[in-house]
Structures are given as structure tokens and as C-alpha cells.
A and B are shown apart, each in its own frame.
Chain A
């Protein structure tokens, strides 16, 4: 009887821990299977992961200490069953994807947990160390359950060499595939912002004349691009447009080793990911790795309006093509920009002095830059300017990137949920101000990963939003503190803003106040790891 009870107690512990490990796995996946990132994120908001209720099984320590092993085991089992039955069900925005890698990692973590639980059960039943042994076992297991991610981190470390070997194999295979297609033209797009939109616009324009493959979604890491090449690149493709993301030095250079780009577009440089890069200089040099990797007959495209890029242009080892709005001397420039609820119009001028009117459904000044970059590249690839203009008219906004939508209830929605940087946010506010309509409403959780300036930038954003908006909904209580401070500093009346618990709460509140004719901006949308 006691044997069965001991066994059941530790199975109960194992099952609840297994469930917790699955959540740890999810967060591990969101942190790109990098232990150091996981820990950093954990330090950033430990409250998200550590639950006080998981301390309750420690109650069993009392009977264990008083040498009532049967009562202790029963109580322990009872509590863990309850914890499991009443486990929280969180609705995640970005679901766990059970890839082979995730499955491997989960299996190893479960095996570790099982060994620990079984070992503990064995010691408990046999009474090694007597009352102290039992007490000690429980004393160790309770925190181990609370900090279950330690098991996950350990499993991840164990698997690291295997995963590395796997990745290297795939990487080399993708490299081989690209080299087997000598007529394939590869265009790399990088920058702190605008790269996804530029990639979309360029691909749409090029598809008028060529068979184009672009990296979908945010497959912008070496492993992501490797997967795209191995599964989506077909012999029919003539152009490959690759978005290149960087979180640390060397990331872009590695991507270039993979795909050997001939054309490189540097959209803009800003303080995105400043936290991991430490300095603006590091960001610049990392983005410039793309230009350094171009072959002698390659072309580099630069946004001349970005002062962070000025000192990079003369450093370019290949021919440079520039674009800009403020700099009318750029090779490709735009002027007479007009913003309307239907989109944007402007006049484009090429280095040959050709002038063509452009019309687009896209909003915002930053999209003009994205269009200019794409137009410049398409023209240098031999496309006719009129074909290009026609294609630009058909470019659809990227979902969640300043995408203009209208609901049947005649509410205009600017969906900018995927944005997360100060410059983009300011542009979204400008678009919100420019569109005629009833109330101007913003729904936002603010911005993250901005390093030491994070507080200041968010506060300033709130101040600017207050100038434009009739109503402000902040999503989340804790991390919107800087925004709340910003609103207070400009004496935003309490009845004109609301601090929502989460996105669902924000939406509920929004529905109570929105009226036909209003314009609503959804600005930024933090990953689950920040739903606090």
C-alpha cells in the first residue's frame, strides 16, 4: 500500500512537472532555443513564470518532518493532483510548434524529470536516510518544480552538440542548392526597420517580369532561410529576395555566406535590438556586413535620408545607388507626397531625370522609402519604370504593418500590430492624424528591447500620442508605466485613457466606445512573454 502511495505521489509530481515543462518548452522556442536569451527574458519578468501556488506542496514537509510518511505522501499527491486539475489555461498568441527539434528537447527534458521523480520515489519508499531523507527529498523537489525550466535549460544544453551538427548539415545543403543555380539573382534586404515591407514590395514588382521567391513571414535567420531554400526554392525561380535579420554581430555575414547576394538593400538603421547590440556602431557594422559580402559587380542600395547611413555609403566596396525624400539629389527620389484615406501619391524621379507619378495603397512616409528602395532595385535589374509604377499600384499592405482596413461598421482600422520601433510608431501616429474621421483612438502596449532609453522613448511616444488621439488604450499594467507617466505629464484627462489588463480586455473596452467614422490604430503587439 505504502509502495503504491509513494509511487503515485511521485507520478503526481512528474505529471504536473511535465505540464510545466511544456510551457517552458514554449518559452524556450520563443527564445530561439538559446539558454542565455531564456535566462535574460526570465530575469526580465520572473513573475510570469514563478507561481506562488506551486509552493503549496511544501505543506507536506510538516508531516514528513514529524515522521508521518503516509500522510506526507498523501498530502503531497493530493496537492499535485489539484495543481494539475486547476492548472492555468493561457491562450497564446504564438502557439508552440511541435517541430522535430521541440519534440526532441521535450523528450529529453521529460526523461530527466522522470529519472529525478523515480529516483526520489525510490529513496522515499525505501526510507534511505530515514525521516531526514524523506524531508530532504521533498525539500529539493518542490523548488525543482517551481523552477522547472532549469531542467529545460539542462536538456537544451545536453542536446546542443546534436542540434548544432544538424543545423550545419542543413546549412551546407542549402548552400549547395543556391550554388547549383548560377542564374539565380539573390537580393538581400536588411536594416533596423522597413525590411519586411521592402521585401514584399520588391517581390511584387519583380513578379511582373520574373519568377520570384521571397523568404516568407519572418524567416530571417540562417536557420529560417536554410529551411526556405531547402523546401521552397524551385528551379523555376530567377530571383530570390531575402530578408536578413540580425540580433548580434556576424548574423548577417552568416546569412550572406549561405545565399551569396549580388544586390544589397540597407533600409535604415535605428536603435532596434540595442539591448543585444550594446552600441549603435555595432548595429551599423552588423548591417553593413551585407554590403561587404557583395561581389565586385554587385550593387548596394542606401537610404540617403537616414543620417546613420551617411558614413557607410563611402565605405561601400561596390557601386552605390541612393534614394531619399529629403535628398532630392539621390539617384531615386520622391516629392509631392500626398496622404489620403485611400493611400499615398507621389512623383518619382530617377537618376536619368525621368519623372513618373506613383500611387499606392500603402500609408506613411516610411513606406515611400520602402517603395523607393524596391523601385531602385527593380529598375537596376532592368525593369521598365512604367511596369514598376503599375506593379506598385497593386502592392497590398503587409498584414499588421500599417495596413489600412475598413470594417463593415464604417470604422477605419490602421493595423500596425507588428511594428515595435520608435520611428515606425511615430509614422503610424502621423498616419492616424492625417486620416480624416471621427474619434482617433490608439490601442498600444508600448515598445520593448530598447535598452536604457526604453523608458524615455515610451514616455515620449505617449506624449506624442496624446497630441493626436482622442482616446488612448494602454495594454498591460506594469510595462506601460512609462506611457502612463507620459500621459500624466501632459495632463491627459483620466476619462480619455484606459489601462487594460490584456489585449482581450482592451478590445472589450474599445467596443464600448468606438463609433462609426472613427479611426483606430493598433500599435505594436508584444509576444506572449510580455503579457503582463
Chain B
């Protein structure tokens, strides 16, 4: 009997298509001798499907046609059942479609990488790949993230944040505060979006106002950071859990504009290579000492945030003075950052096997904790034990 791995992908997120590519890459990397993959596709509307047709990227060109041929499903939320049901159910059809043993989410951004789906897995009581609810949520929220990293003594870029509603009522005060505390140029970011969507730089007041107007469409909270003018971006991936970690080589994405834009990140470099298709330098052309510093900071950030699985931690380097800042973790990185592991001798297949093993280990540890007691206190009325 092979271990049945449910790969969850797609989702109600702006990074929907990228997630599809990452997921299909992952599915093809998973060791077919040990595991049986059950694809669970979540459409942009949030409807869940399964079917073997979901395994071929070419089928996604005609999405409506594809989904018409796939089966709509419900996954049981009952703890321990792990059952995939046909939906809606019928008298004359097979209602129980699949049974899964491990959940493997390959989703980017909202509803998949931010803890929502992880919460569902917790309710199901199923082992799942990647960080838990809290770590996923903190990793996604730039405001909380920076508070936690700063508290752990990790260097982060100076920033300030406010609610979009506040902006509407107190625009002048906020601008004044930002200009005083940070100064131009600044970077404006929606607080809790995974990708680079909605992120713009502001060199002056007018640009700042435009940037906030844009960001406010994506989030209720807005983060503004000092901009590092002479910027290099370096990424490093970490694999493991709170007990054991491995670090990958560092990479430097090469971008055409100042910030790695959505276009650069996902749309350049060919049709369907996902994150691995972005132009990048591997390993990054930085001094050995800096590589080491970044790897250790990546490890520390990983453990501080209680991450698990494979995460890509992004760093900002001020090329003028060589200062390194932690930017953000990607708790489910594009293409699972497999291209950072191949140089250290770990194949994509081995990476997926490791990820599943880490998920099973995390689940075992959780099972050894006490969540509730078997006996029903309401059913025992003074029959056993002493009441005082």
C-alpha cells in the first residue's frame, strides 16, 4: 500500500496560476513508488475538484472544459476520517472517492499559504506539509512578521503601518509622520499579500499617495518601509523543523526594474516554468562570509517563526554598506525552491520525500500532546474519584 498524498493547489489567490505550475512540478517530482498522488484543485472561485486530468498543465488552457470533466468534491472535516467525497452525492454513484493519508498544500498567497487551509488540516487531524497555522499566518502578515523578527534581534528595515480607513480620515497626519520617520524614497506594501502585487515605490509625496491608493485595494492594513536605494535581493531556503534544519545555497534574482515585480517573478522566462523560470543567479555572487551570515540568519528566522517544511527566506542587502536585512519568508515558495537544493545535492524528488517525512514527524509530536480527555466528565456523577 502506497502512502496517499493529497496535493492541494490553486486557490482563491492572485497567485492561482503560479500555484498550479508549482503543484504540477511537485506532483511530477513525488516518488511514485512510495506515494500515490491525489490532486485536489481549488478553483479561483473556491470550489474543490479532483481528477487525473488535473495532472497535465496543457489541460488548464481551457479551464471551464477541464473542470466540467473533473469531479466536484467535499473533503471530510471530521477528525481522522480523511475522506474525499463526491459532491453532490447521488444514489447511483460512488460517493467515497478517495482516502488520503498526508496533505501537501502547494498554494501561494491568500487562503492557502496564510494558515486558512492549514487550519482546515488541523481540524481534519491529518499530517500536512509545511508550517502550522500560526507560523503560516505570521509569515504572511508583514506587520506581525517584522514585530516577531525584530523581537528576536534579527535585522529588519525601518517601517510604519496604518489602517486603510485611517488613511481616508487622516491622510495629512499619516503622510507627515511617514516623511518624518522614514523619508523618501519609501516602499508601500499591502500588509498581508504573499506576492509582489500592490507593492510600489514612492519617491515623492504624489507617488506615495498613488502607492497607498493602490495598496489599499489589496489589504486593510498598509505597511510603509524605508527604501534601500542600492538594493540587492538574496534568497536562501531552509528545510526542516524546530529540531533539525538544512540550508540551501543563496540565489540572487535578476530583475529589470527596482523591485522584483509580479511580471518578473512569474511571467518572464518562458511559459510554464513557474518560479524556477525567473532569471536568477545561483549561487548568488556574494562574498563567502555574507553567504554564511545569510544562511545563519535564514536558519534563525526559520526557527523563530516556528516554520516547518521548506521555506524560502528573502533578504535585502544594502550594496552601499553590505548590511543584510530579513525581508520575508515564503512558507510555500514557488516551485518549492527546488532549484536551490539541487546545487547542494538534493533532488526535487528527495525534497518532496523529506517534506512528507517532516509532516509525519510533526504530526506524531502533536499526537503525543494532550488535547482532550476520553472520559466524559458529565457522565460521571460521583461514581469514581473523590470530590472535595
Contact residues of A with B, CB < 8 Å? 91, 177, 180-181, 204, 207-208, 211-212, 234-236, 394, 399, 407-409, 411, 413, 417, 503-504, 507, 510-511, 514, 520, 522
Contacts and interface: CB of A to CB of B under 8 A. Distances in A.
B364 interface: yes
Centre residue among B1, B3, B374, B382 by max chain A CB count within 10 A: B1
A413 B388 CA distance: 13
Contacts of A411: 386, 388
* Best-surrounded residue of B3, B374, B383, B386 (most CB of chain A within 10 A): B386
Given A211-B360, A211-B364, A235 B386 contact: no
B4 interface: yes
B360 A520 contact: no
Interface in B339-388: 360, 364, 367-368, 374, 382-388
A525 B364 CA distance: 33
Given A211-B360, A211-B364, A510 B386 contact: yes
Given A211-B360, A211-B364, A235-B101, A413 B3 contact: no
Contacts of A181: 1
A235 B2 contact: yes
A235 B368 contact: no
Contacts of A413: 385-386
A383 to B, nearest CB: 14
Nearest to A206: B364
A531 to B, nearest CB: 12
B130 interface: no
B102 to A, nearest CB: 7
A520 B387 CA distance: 13
B274 interface: no
A511 B386 CA distance: 7
Q: Which 9 A-B pairs have the closest CB atoms?
A: A409-B388, A235-B1, A235-B3, A236-B101, A207-B364, A180-B1, A236-B3, A234-B101, A181-B1
B190 interface: no
Interface of B: 1-4, 101-102, 127, 360, 364, 367-368, 374, 382-388
A503 to B, nearest CB: 7
B4 A235 contact: yes
Contacts of A417: 384
Contact of B383 (A177, A407, A503, A511): A503
Contacts of A204: 368
A514 B388 CA distance: 10
B386 A409 contact: yes
A490 B367 CA distance: 49
A510 B382 CA distance: 12
Main secondary structure of the interface of B (DSSP, over half): loop
B3 A507 contact: no
Contacts of B2: 235
A204 B369 CA distance: 11
Which of A180, A207, A208, A236 has the largest number of chain B CB atoms within 10 A?
A236
B388 A507 contact: no
B360 A407 contact: no
Contacts of B383: 91, 503-504, 507
Contacts of B382: 504, 507
A57 B98 CA distance: 59
A507 B384 contact: yes
Name A's interface SS: loop
A207 B1 contact: no
A417 B1 CA distance: 40
Contacts of A504: 382-383
Given A235-B3, A504-B383, A507-B382, A408 B388 contact: yes
Contacts of A177: 1
Given A180-B1, A181-B1, A211-B364, A236 B127 contact: yes
A180 B374 CA distance: 32
Nearest to A411: B386
Contacts of B367: 207
A514 B4 contact: no
7 contacts: A211-B360, A235-B2, A413-B385, A503-B383, A504-B383, A511-B386, A511-B387
Contact of B386 (A180, A234, A520): A520
Nearest to A181: B1
A23 to B, nearest CB: 20
A413 to B, nearest CB: 7
A118 to B, nearest CB: 38
Given A235-B1, A236-B127, 7 more contacts: A180-B1, A207-B368, A211-B360, A212-B364, A411-B386, A507-B386, A520-B386
Contacts of A503: 383-384
A496 to B, nearest CB: 19
Contacts of A91: 383
A417 B367 CA distance: 26
Nearest to B367: A207
Contacts of B387: 511
A283 B94 CA distance: 49
Nearest to B1: A235
B241 to A, nearest CB: 13
A208 B367 CA distance: 11
Contacts of A522: 384
A104 B35 CA distance: 40
Nearest to A510: B386
Contacts of A511: 386-387
A514 B387 CA distance: 11
A507 B380 CA distance: 13
A519 to B, nearest CB: 12
Contacts of B364: 207-208, 211-212
Contacts of A514: 386
A503 B360 CA distance: 43
Nearest to B356: A236
A291 to B, nearest CB: 28
B312 to A, nearest CB: 27
Contacts of B102: 236
Contacts of A394: 368
B352 to A, nearest CB: 15
Contacts of A212: 364
A403 to B, nearest CB: 12
A511 B383 CA distance: 12
A120 to B, nearest CB: 41
Contacts of B388: 407-409, 411
A467 to B, nearest CB: 24
A510 B383 CA distance: 12
Contacts of B386: 407, 409, 411, 413, 507, 510-511, 514, 520
Contacts of A211: 360, 364
Specify which of B2, B101, B367, B384 lies most central, judged by the most chain A CB atoms within 10 Å of its CB: B384
A392 B127 CA distance: 24
Nearest to B375: A399
